[in-house]
A and B are shown apart, each in its own frame.
Chain A
Amino acid sequence: MEALATAFTMVFEPHTIVVMLGASLFGLFVGAVPGLTATMATALLVPVTFFMPPITAIAAIVTATAMAIFSGDIPGCLLRMPGTPASAAYTDESYAMTRKGQAELALGAGLVFSAIGGLFGTAVLIASAPVLADFALRFSSFEYFWLVLLGLSCAIVITSERPLKGIVSLLLGLLVACVGLDNPAGFPRFTFGSTELMGGVGLIPMMIGMFAVSEILRYAVETGPKLVIDTRPIGNVMRGMWELLKKYPMQVLRGSTLGTLVGALPGAGADIAAWMSYGISKKFSKEPEKFGTGHVEGIVESGAANNSALAGAWIPALVFGIPGDSITAIVIGVLYMKNMNPGPTLFTQNPQNIYAVYLLFIVANLIMVPLGLLCIKVAKRILTVPREILMPVILLFCIVGTFAINNTPFDVGVMLVAGLLAYVLEANGFPIAPAILGVVLGEMLEENFVTSMIKSDGSLLAFFGRPIAATLGALTLAAWFLPPIIRRLRTLAGA
């Protein structure tokens, strides 16, 4: 109880409140501008949060991402261009609603059910994280080894249409994580005599490169036609929301549950949650023929799903240090910088920090409604912001932000290389999320692997020697071998 009171004072102190308001506006803006994603918002925030106390830093990230995932719906609805990938699933649907003169209903549903989904995900986070942490306290290196491997495997199975490219992306990430002195043997690997590489490839410069610089490159080569904004004025978006909630309670519950689960699985975040939810909504709908013609049902369900995924992603991130999506991959980097190392001990040693994170999520999802309404009011102005001016400024911000972490131009080089690589890989169908997970989890995977090997004296059987480890190991192997077997059976059955 005392910890909870401390958490309250940490969250509701003037400095944090101001930062949350600022981060909200920033998040709403970034989300609403097509081509700027919620992950990019996080990456751009990191250099600034670097100079903040831990809880304030987390507050900035939590609010900015929640807002960005909602406001990504706005350009989808008015321009037929998703503001963030998480809104892509129902962009056509909401634009069709705008064409029918129902822009208010689409935007309102996006806002209200985003908040409800976010609160649902938060509730699951609050209920499940401490239980899992309690369980995780008993984990040894064997369990952690399998858990990390299972997480990485899930990331590939869920996120990529072509698992081979996902695996390549993951392996590249793991190799990058090997660079430097930070390995169990303390031997400098792949440093090529560079002192800067001794400490490894900087995580934050790499993230800024992969999520911000690559987007700027993509903007530079964008050849699409100029977008046309629907100029009709937007009326009261809150009208009819209560009726929607009464009409679609099942959809809201299903979307939020699925979103939280997908979020909690490593590698899959809000965008995949939204796609899956939209598909499920259509499949189980009483009127599936209306989907795609400007029908609000799918927006209700997947709008709730993408925001609940945000909170869900924090469950494995806080409990095990395994990120649930790219945003929490960056967050884990921030937590380490702030000496708030994720893991089960975070729950036992500093419970006030965890309570503060819960409170931040609740507050962020509540203030989303009034601030979101404000954002919708000025939406047309945000959408006409000249991107030819915005993008270069963001690039300079990236450079300075990267430099700020270690005060070295070397990191700016890392940022550029990471940005170029991410651009080329993505253009050729290699997913980026597994690479990020590989970089973030490589050290943890190797450390637990080596420790386990030493403990077991080189015997691989010992990896299945403890009940939980054996279960996790079996699950990992299932994640590897079941999908191809199922595919083979399907083709056999079809033939």
Chain B
Amino acid sequence: MKFNDAVFGAIFLVLGLAIVVHVQSFPAIPGQQVGPALFPGLVAAGLAVCGVLLIASGLRHRSSQPWFVAEAWTRSTRHVAGFAAVVAAVAFYIAFANTLGFLVVGPLILFGLFVMFGVRPATAALVAVVATLVIWYAFYKLLRVPLPWGVLTKFAF
């Protein structure tokens, strides 16, 4: 996922300008010249300038730097799926940990990722359960982190 510098430059230019505009709505502090808008405003202005410079450098190196280069892994389904699976696993946790509970979500995430990375299903299932229990014991029992019980709430201990 390599992009030409100009692509990043454009993103940072827009982001910088948007922030510069947005901070104008911040209130001034009566009797003072410096308000909450000054610092982020300066930083965002700097970002916008860097954006322009990046656009310039990207266009200058246009011949050696195409708009977008797909690295080797983007042509391998297994690797793309692996990348997506890591992101999906975290998203799945955020979405379902509270309703399903850690002891359900944990093994599911681990099993899914293990299989995705090529672990044999039987091994994957066993390690998924054991690893979840170890992490659960360390954080819930020893460190007293309130990991959610979810559907298992009535069995909570």
Taken together as a complex, chains A and B put the C-alpha atoms of A166 and B72 apart, in Å, by 26
Give every chain A residue within 8 A of B67 (Cβ-Cβ): none
B117, A397: Cβ atoms under 8 Å?
A: no
Cβ of B32 within 8 Å of any chain A Cβ, yes or no, is: yes
Taken together as a complex, chains A and B put the C-alpha atoms of A487 and B97 apart, in Å, by 55
Nearest CB of chain A from residue B96's CB, rounded to whole Å: 10
B40, A178: Cβ atoms under 8 Å?
A: yes
* Seed contacts A164-B54, A189-B40, A399-B90; 9 additional CB < 8 Å A-B pairs: A178-B40, A213-B86, A213-B90, A388-B119, A395-B113, A412-B90, A416-B90, A416-B94, A453-B33
**CB-CB contacts of A407-449 with B at 8 A, as 1s and 0s?**
1010011011000100010011010000000000000011001
Taken together as a complex, chains A and B put the C-alpha atoms of A327 and B109 apart, in Å, by 29
Taken together as a complex, chains A and B put the C-alpha atoms of A400 and B93 apart, in Å, by 10
**Closest chain A residue to B142 by CB distance?**
A51
B43, A396: Cβ atoms under 8 Å?
A: no
A450, B38: Cβ atoms under 8 Å?
A: yes
A393, B145: Cβ atoms under 8 Å?
A: no
Give every chain B residue within 8 A of A416 (Cβ-Cβ): 87, 90-91, 94
**B contact set with A: CB distance below 8 Å:** 1-3, 8, 12, 19, 22-23, 26-27, 29, 32-36, 38-40, 43-44, 46-47, 50-51, 53-54, 57, 71-73, 76, 79-80, 82-83, 85-87, 89-91, 93-94, 97-98, 102, 106, 109-110, 113-114, 117-119, 123, 127, 131-132, 135, 139, 143-147
Nearest CB of chain A from residue B8's CB, rounded to whole Å: 7
Q: Which of A160-194 contact B (CB under 8 A)?
A: 164-165, 167-168, 171-172, 174-175, 178, 183-185, 187, 189-190
A400, B43: Cβ atoms under 8 Å?
A: no
A223, B72: Cβ atoms under 8 Å?
A: yes
A409, B94: Cβ atoms under 8 Å?
A: yes
Interface class of chain A by DSSP: helix
Q: How many A residues face the partner with a CB closer than 8 A?
A: 59
Stretch in contact with the other chain, from A90-98, A113-121, A214-222, A334-342? A214-222
B43, A220: Cβ atoms under 8 Å?
A: no
**A contact set with B: CB distance below 8 Å:** 47-48, 50-51, 164-165, 167-168, 171-172, 174-175, 178, 183-185, 187, 189-190, 213, 216-217, 220-223, 386, 388-389, 391-393, 395-397, 399-401, 403-404, 407, 409, 412-413, 415-416, 420, 424, 427-428, 430, 445-446, 449-450, 453-454, 457-458
